[in-house]
Structure 1
């Protein structure tokens, strides 16, 4: 009787398993749909609100005339047109930073990995400031190249420092190495800028992180980098899932562990550096969004990465809109808003006892 009962229970369990996958797929499909709608709504909100709120009709008029290459006579529609570039940049930058953070957390199996916390943002910023102050760099392409070099060198340095000592690389050691590196590099940035008034005036708001400097020419420089790095990240998702099981298991599944880590790390750093070159070092987006998305979608990176990109777009666009509304007639930089929101998240993560790996 026991054998029959066990067999029946096993059969019942096996019968239930096939229905679980479609249910999970439907749930994830709903989540993706909601995320896409949230991005669309956030874009409309960004175009509608600022120092001068506008109505739905003016939003439609401003967008339609922008598509036709016309300049509206209505001041509200004109305000909408002026907000289009910064809204596009906020969407792109938020998606790139969140995707970068999710990649870094997956590669290091470290819940505290984030471009800001690990010092990658600051390294990119320092390289750009050095280029402007000493090399006379003034083009968007030059900023991008310097930011990529600075970000890659900083990421490599932080990883080496975080690996020193017993136990190898741990979340706490990486976070401490990143915090120390960020402090040191930030001091160097200040030391370069303070005696140089012209450079300081140009980049004092850029250092905080904002999307107000958006224009189509500079975005055209970084968009190819964001697209290539984003595609690499999404293609690498399955291999990164295998890495989460451990290096030995990943090798057994046919994954080239070293190669996938290097390629994914370069993609993550490129996403962060491209955004930093144009918008400055915006922190905490790569930390907050993947953690929030993971609670909804689970750890499967095939879903986590694209959903993080959508969530990052929503977060940074909302942060920019909030900054424009509460700072009217001026604005509060988006980097300040994300830091204000992200600090409690960092404290909550640090208080968790089980944080050795994702």
Structure 2
């Protein structure tokens, strides 16, 4: 990469960081309760216990941080899934993470009547991890080992299996449907910092590993045979990629429920802006993912005010046109 491209990418990263901070600020200020920049500043410097100050500190600040972290994690997980599977439409859901997490939550709610949000977090994390590990085990079986096609097929099969189980339980238990419907749609509303703090160590570990492995991912992107020829232990690398996806996507689903399209759309936008070098692609995708989810969450507050649309619905509304564009572009190339 020449110096001109490097400088350009640095500028783009700085701009993305600025916009991420800007959208975090907007998320803290905008909403049904009327607030302003001075009022938000006073909430942290001269807290007086007023309703507005309480909303800013206990509702909007956690919501903004959770949206930024979840969006960044889903986008980075999407980058790694698309590189691993060589599939431009791959996303964290391809490993059955969303389906596994949803199944686990509905299962404990149906059979154990657990409705605590923090318990949902850990149960969904466990379900996401179990589903992803199952997909990796099935995809790695056989003579050829873990291949992109086998991984994709195994993920589709496990996703269909868990989704069917989940729908079956919801049909027979309407109370469970009422309890988890908003969570199943994907939402950052009503989440607390304690919810984020419980999985944040896993998210930050995933971010660190993703950045650390980014140079090697450039080699893997050239193909397994080329990577092996250059001395890369492809099997171990794929296991590490799976761990990263489980940490990032599993932690995100645990906090906010299954939120789609970010893991598909953002990696493509990031590649168009900074290229395919993972050393730039990973941090830039993380920043864009945070921005997109923050923007979607802010918009969700105004669509049917005073009610709110689940942010997963907003990301689908934003991401579907671009998803269709990616699919058509890939089809035309084929």
TM-score normalised according to structure 1 size: 0.82
Structure 1 unmatched runs, 5+: 1-19
Per the alignment, residue 282 of structure 1 pairs with 259
The CA RMSD over aligned residues, in Å, is 2.9
Among 19, 23, 31, the residue aligned to 1:50: 31
Q: 1:254 to 1:218 in 2, by over 3 A?
A: same
Could you tell me which residue of structure 1 aligns to residue 56 of structure 2? 80
C-alpha separation in 1, matches of 2:125 and 2:235:
21
1:300 matched residue in structure 2: 277
**C-alpha distance in structure 2 between counterparts of 1:321 and 1:245, whole Å:** 39
Larger deviation, residues 192-201 vs 336-345: 192-201
Candidates 202, 209, 233, aligned match of 2:179: 202
Tell me what 1:337 maps to.
Answer: 314
The answer on 1:62 being equivalent to 2:30 is no
The answer as to 2:200 corresponding to 1:219 is no
Q: Distance in 2 between matches of 1:306 and 1:289?
A: 12
Deviations 1:30-61 (A, max 9, x none): 01100100101101111121113422211222
Counting only pairs closer than 5 Å after superposition, residues 224-263 of structure 1 correspond to structure 2 as 224-263=201-240
Separation in 2, partners of 1:59, 1:142: 31
For residues 1-57 of structure 1, the C-alpha deviation after alignment (integer angstroms, 9 at most, x for no partner) is xxxxxxxxxxxxxxxxxxx72111110110110010010110111112111342221
CA distance in 2, matches of 1:28, 1:237: 16
CA distance 1:194–1:178, change in 2 (3 Å): same
**Secondary structure at 1:111's aligned position in 2?**
coil
Q: Is the 8 A contact 1:35 1:310 kept in 2?
A: yes
Asked whether the equivalents of residues 111 and 355 of structure 1 are also in contact (C-alpha less than 8 Å), the reply is no
Distance 1:124 1:77 in 2: 34
Mapped contact 1:107–1:261 kept (Cα < 8 A): yes
Alignment TM-score, normalising by the size of structure 2? 0.88
The answer on 1:313 being equivalent to 2:294 is no
**Equivalents in 2 of 1:142, 1:269: separation in Å?**
18
Alpha-carbon shift at residue 63 of structure 1 (Å): 3.5
Match of 1:11 in 2: none
Q: Choose 56-65 or 286-295, whichever is displaced more.
A: 56-65
Q: In 2, distance between residues paired with 1:317 and 1:107?
A: 27
Counterpart residue number, 1:271: 248
1:185 aligns with 2:185: no
Alpha-carbon distance in structure 1 between the residues aligned to 2:330 and 2:36: 49
Q: Within 2, Cα distance between the matches of 1:274 and 1:170?
A: 24
Tell me the residue number matched to 1:103.
Answer: 80
1:77 CA drift (Å) = 3.7
Which blocks of at least 5 consecutive residues in structure 2 are unaligned?
A: none
SS in 2 for 1:43: helix
**What's the secondary structure of 1:254's corresponding residue?**
coil
